[in-house]
Structure 1
Amino acid sequence: MEDFHMWATFAIIAVAIVAYVTEKTPIEITGVGVVVAFLLLFQLFPYPNPDGSGLFGAEELLAGFANPALFTILALLVIGQGLFQTGALDGLAQRIGHWGGGRNNATLAAVLIVTGILSAFMNNTPVVVLMLPVLGAVAMRARQSPSKVMIPLSFVSILGGMTTLIGSSTNLLVAGQASDMGQPAITFFDFTGIGVILAVIGGIYAVFVLPRLLPARATMLQEVGGGQGKQFIAQIPIGYDNPLVGSKAVAGMFPALKGMTVVMVQRGDHPYLPPFEDVELQAGDIIVVAATRSVLTDALKGTKALFSADPVGSIDEGEDDAAPPADGPIMLAEAVVAPGSRLIGRTIEMSALRSMTGCIVLGIQRQSRMIRMRMSDIRLEAGDVLLVSGSRSQVEGLRLSRDVILLEWSAAEVPLTERAGRALAIFLAVVAVSASGLLPIATAAITGALALVPAGCLNIRQAARAFDRRIYVLIGSSLAMAAPLEVTGGARFIAEEVVALLNGQSPAVIMSALFLLIAIMTNFLSNNATAVLFTPIAISTAMQIGVDPFPFIVTVILAANCSFATPIGYQTNLLVMTPGHYRFADFVKVGTPLVLLIWLAYSIIGPWYYGF
């Protein structure tokens, strides 16, 4: 009967892997289906726990859904949302942008290399938590899809973590277990030499090859027209306290207006057109610019905003339009002037759009031609795209309008930069206390996520949006797969059968095969569980063939860290899954070659390094 449970477990896991990779059914459905299959298996055919504590069943299978690692990841996603919502790391991203000498690819590579170095001396998870929002902001400024860089971030952190004793909890676990079995204590840099060689080989692949293999997957906002290339015509009225006062054109461009193309400067009745020779901006000027939505959003941020939320009406109406709406933060959205709209042929001020909807028009985008006039003088046409701002209720109220068509999913909140300091302080506190060991990372992350709400960095709706049900189900179901694999003896069966097949082979061949087996298993079991399983097997195998066990212990450490081929293989893979908009198959596609590359490199270099 024991063999029945083991082989049934193998069958369920095989079906699950095929379903995850093909994604013919949603990940959530597959995950829940796996759990249900195991629940039915052990309910209909009872199986005793190896420790004699009763029957293996629902309590053990569902324990993964209350796993601290699961809630750690969810809490870290909330913290990341808080940093994004407040724009807390925009400044850091700008400074990092200079590392590559203005070259976007060099900047992204520099961030990834720094991540790998930090991971050698810190636990991987806090490092990825620290660099994830920074890399996201750098990628956005470099006009690079997040899906091109998030998996490389996770992979370089794992590679860096395999170079020192404290780089990964797996390393410490193997060292401790080996010591308990009578082996000499492993010190900080005992396997750094071979670890660095493999990390450099894998790092070259992760930094320079991986981004070319990964899809440029757009966010929902980019897909519906919030992309980076679409230009809006906007106007910036220059008040006496505007930071642009005194700015001069250099080679026809105004350096203070980064990312914007100045179309015209209106001074009284006199318009200045390019190349703006000897033009110095003065209070009372109106600047007409062409800029993307992201650039205009940046111009609205902070205490040094270039213009307020009402660039059209603030001069004429004399209202305090810089203040955010009373019922929440400012939101930006895009709306199309509908055919037959009453707005056609009217200017923004004549349309009375603000009095009817409460929304303010920040920019106009017209497909057919570039407009060279003040935005307030433009007469609207059917098909014009309006960039509007307002409170959530005001923007959502546009759905009821027959004059404009709100582009669904285009609404996004302007970052609350005045709360950026609070969000950054909470984030750094979480990283510091978890990296130093003062608090477990689960406790620190959940506390930090909660603190963001009373600090005003997030509201409940924004925090809830950060949760990804795919992550929740994927982690819970993967732990439900690992538990019966260990309890029924399936994992040990695989290990012992492979070792038996290698009987009589040279130490180099055995070490290579052991590495490959562990590297495969670590992508389906947790890396710690794989390490615990194979450490005694590796030591006993070395003793049987009469060689020093230390190279085999290092083999377990390095191979157990090769969690590249599945998102469930390592916690950092799950952390980047949501920001990178990845699917299960993405990890299989780009992670499997890295596992094979590290294995081949170790198979060639390892025996030479250890003198086999």
Structure 2
Amino acid sequence: MMIANKNNYFWICFCLIILLLIPYNAAAENIEGANSAVNLGLQNQLSSSIIFILLLITSLLVLFIWEPMPISLLAILVPIALAFFNDLSKMSVEEALSGFGNSATITVMAMFVFSAGIQRSGAVQLLGDKISYLTGSNPRRQISLISILTGFSSGLVNNTPIVAALIPMVRELGRKTKVSPSKLLIPLSYTAMLGGTLTLIGTSTNLLASQVSDRILGHPFSMFEFTGLGLIVLLIGIFYLLTIGYKLIPARLEVENDLTEEYEMSGYLSEVVLAPECSFVGKSFAEISNTKELDYDIIKIIRDEEEFMEPLDAKTLRAGDHLIIRAQEETLLKLIKRKGIKTLPEMVVDDQLIEQPLAGEKLIEIVVPAHSFMVNKTLTEINFLERYDCNVLALRRGEELTHQKMEDYRFQPGDLILLLATEKTFARLSKNNNFIIDRKYDSNLFDKTKMLISVAILTFFILTVSFNILPVAIAALSGAFLMVLSGVINKNDFFTAIDWEVYFLLSGLIPLGVAIEKTGAAAYIAAKILNLAEILPAIAIAMIIYLLTSIMANIVGNNASALLMLPIAIGTAQQLGVNPFAFVLITTFAASAAFASPVGYQTNLMVYSSGGFKFTDFILVGAPLQLLLALVVPFLVKLFWGF
């Protein structure tokens, strides 16, 4: 279902690009050496350079959706292609590689360190933990406070760690108050996106758009350039989520008190005892694992009131041992018949039975982020069970639960894994950037000193940028260095805090935006859009630009859609004779409006499986909000900045 819906989005954009490739004058001649959208008049004819860029964009969209490899690696193909075909791209080697040292890229990387410092101080979790005391069991009040906290936090700190920190709180809040967590998780993600539009540093998209605006128009964003507009948009989004959106968000997850119920484990976890005649007796766990013919896993061995879990390979089973087994009922019956084991039907296997606090074992959920090494890999390929000494009990992708043949399951971003792990494994996973731990708030995580220092450094960054004391990239690097110098971030954690997938994605795509401008492709596409100007006013053209950008954001993400559409939006505005900076703002806000797809924005992916959603749930809830903002944002931009 996911791929089908992604393809629906893709074909919409593909058809639009094909339409742009068709010249309106069939007898048109090629025009070589096209100028940029800034200096060029209407460009209705195709040149070889424009065709090259449009084909490159189309190929990139196909690869991004097909995703034969991570999109960050695919993005590296862009500077390679631009440099290799430099006659067509009009780009020198230095220009093709300019994204790797771009000020926006450097700033985004430094902001990851800021976000890690704020998150690891426990400040966000502390604030989130207080929500349950203020909202009671009123779901709309819960959405209001969650949205306000998330929205304003995301204006100052990268929204991905904000959402990662609040997902466990939101799920626990739902359990406590008997409200389906699904009703709360989509508002959490949407307001994180909307909150990113409050300030320059709210999202990497804003920083990229500022750099493009500065390069083409000589007008970068100030820290609070569009805060007023962002605040109105955030409030509109919250109002929508409390009214129409609340009715549209499905309650996919039942309110359960423990994770074994939530993952429907009652039919898969059983406690059995080994009879003397059992064929397992006298064999090591490794021998049994290597020769098993059925799909089952031994989760735990209980012997003389002592309990053992992974690693179990060296353990030899004895008569009278109790085992906690993960198996389907049919498989369990075959084990009873073939192996000589006995079930304990009066026992209920739940969180309390399989968790043993004294032994340091616990049930945990982990989310697979988009940049994780687990993406497109199986448990067997990455040797997960042996590497982390844990048991995988169940997997969730959206609404779908998997309990069988999990070793062959190929992970995708947003997947949720239910593990039984030791405290040592839990600590290792918590520090690993390849996983997002879905856990309850722990008061031990809160460090008041680190929180105050991290907030002070963030304030230093905001003030120096707001008053133009330092360039934004230098201020960001200074702040990131101070995070390490003050001890808020460990020197080793400095590099793990940075999302290198994002770095290579931005570094690869930034030169493409320059090439779109230099080759005249932006002016050509703008000319096609301007054919509508004969029948539509400028405000309607602006709404179309917003809608095209937001649709593309649902497919290829916020940063890619902004970099592709900003030169086109600027060219369109200049050829219309209206304020190009207004169109920059419209495009920037649209790129952060990927509400109608779980794959268009990282925070949507994070709540996709945590809320048990279907792909279509995001279309149902997000499309009306996307259309509403496509009407409202251009109107507000025209009102405040003028056309």
The question of 1:432 aligning with 2:459 is answered yes
C-alpha distance in 2, partners of 1:470/1:211?
A: 36
Mapped pair 1:95 → 2:130? yes
- Aligned residue runs from structure 1 range 224-235, under 5 A: none
Q: CA deviation at 1:424?
A: 1.9
How far apart, in 2, do the equivalents of 1:91 and 1:68 lie?
30
CA deviation string 1:402-454 (max 9, x = no partner): 9x9797663413968276224323432343223323674632553365358x5
1:153 to 182, 185, 191: 191
Instruction: Provide the rounded CA distance (Å) in 1 between the counterparts of 2:515 and 2:458.
Output: 34
Residue of structure 2 in register with 1:561 after alignment: 589
1:337 counterpart SS class = strand
Rate the CA distance shift 1:597–1:350 in 2: closer, same or farther, 3 A: closer
- Alignment CA distance shift 1:602-1:191 (3 Å): same
Compute the displacement of 1:494 (Å).
1.6
CA distance in 1, matches of 2:392, 2:560: 47
Paired with 1:466 and 1:93, the residues of 2 have a C-alpha distance of: 22
Whole-Å separation in 2 of the counterparts to 1:581 and 1:65: 35
Matches within 5 A, 1:436-455: 436-437=463-464, 440=472, 442-443=476-477, 446-447=480-481, 450=484, 454=487
Match of 1:42 in 2: 82
Q: How far 1:98 moved relative to its partner?
A: 2.5
Q: Which amino acid aligns with 1:436?
A: L
Residue 4 of structure 1 is matched in structure 2 by 48
Equivalent position of 2:73 in the other structure: 32
Report how many aligned residue pairs link the two structures. Answer: 443
SS at match of 1:67: helix
**Counterparts of 2:212 and 2:355, CA distance in 1:** 60
Residues 538 and 429 of structure 1: is their aligned pair in 2 closer, same or farther, counting only changes over 3 Å? same
Answer yes or no: is the 8 Å Cα contact 1:191–1:554 preserved in 2: no
Q: Measure the CA separation in 2 of the matches of 1:488 and 1:212.
A: 45
Asked whether the equivalents of residues 76 and 445 of structure 1 are also in contact (C-alpha less than 8 Å), the reply is yes
1:107: which partner in 2? Answer: 142
Deviations 1:317-347 (A, max 9, x none): xxxxxxxxxxxxxxxxx99433xx6x1xx22
Residue of structure 1 equivalent to 2:354 = 385
Alignment of 1:531-546 (within 5 A): 534=569, 537-538=572-573, 541=576, 543=577
Per mean C-alpha deviation after superposition, the further-off stretch among 11-20 and 171-180 is: 171-180
Larger radius of gyration: 1
Native 8 Å contact 2:118 2:451 kept in 1: no
Which one-letter code corresponds to 1:154 in the other structure? A
In structure 2, what is the equivalent of residue 248 of structure 1?
A: none
Distance 1:228 1:9, change over 3 A: same
Cα shift at 1:74: 3.7
Measure how far apart 1:157 and its partner are. Answer: 0.9
For the residues of structure 1 that align with 2:209 and 2:504, how far apart are their CA atoms? 28
Checking the alignment, whether the CA contact within 8 Å between 1:112 and 1:153 is kept in structure 2 is yes
Give the TM-score of the pair, scaled to structure 2. Answer: 0.50
Question: How far apart are residue 388 of structure 1 and its match?
Answer: 4.8
Pair 78,606 (structure 1): closer, same or farther in 2 beyond 3 Å:
closer
Deviations 1:273-324 (A, max 9, x none): xxxxxxxxxxxxxxxxxxxxxxxxxxxxxxxxxxxxxxxxxxxxxxxxxxxx
Contact 2:549 2:565 in 1 (8 A): yes
State the AA in 2 paired with 1:42.
L
CA shift at 1:496, angstroms? 3.3
- Distance in 2 (CA, whole Å) between partners of 1:92 and 1:530 is 37
**Structure 1's 566 and 115: CA in aligned 2 closer, same or farther, altered over 3 A?**
closer
SS of residue matched to 2:135 = coil
Partner residue in 1 for 2:110: 72
Q: Which of the residues 391, 414, 421 maps onto 1:410?
A: 421
Matches within 5 A, 1:76-475: 76=114, 78-79=116-117, 82-83=120-121, 87-103=122-138, 106-116=141-151, 118=152, 124-126=155-157, 128=159, 132=163, 135-136=166-167, 138-142=169-173, 143=175, 144=181, 148-158=186-196, 160=198, 199-205=234-240, 209=245, 336-338=299-301, 343=303, 346-348=304-306, 385-388=354-357, 410-411=421-422, 412-413=426-427, 417=444, 420-437=447-464, 440=472, 442-443=476-477, 446-447=480-481, 450=484, 454=487, 460=492, 468=499, 470-475=501-506
User: Corresponding residue for 2:528?
Assistant: 497
> CA deviation digits over 1:145-176, x for unaligned, max 9?
796455313322145569xxxx9779989999
TM-score normalised per structure 1: 0.52
Equivalent residue, structure 2, for 1:14: 58
Q: CA deviation at 1:125?
A: 4.1
Question: What are the superposed Cα offsets for residues 492-515 of structure 1, whole Å, 9 maximum, x if unpaired?
Answer: 322233224424644554454455
Distance (whole Å) between structure 1 residues aligned to residue 251 and residue 461 of structure 2: 33
- 2:39 matched to which residue of 1? none
Match of 1:599 among 624, 630, 639: 630
List alignment gaps of at least 5 residues for structure 2.
1-31, 34-46, 176-180, 267-296, 316-322, 326-343, 362-384, 394-418, 431-441
Give the counterpart letter for 1:126 in structure 2.
Answer: V
CA distance in 1, matches of 2:108, 2:641: 39
State the identity as a percent: 15
* 1:170–1:557 contact (8 Å) kept in structure 2: no
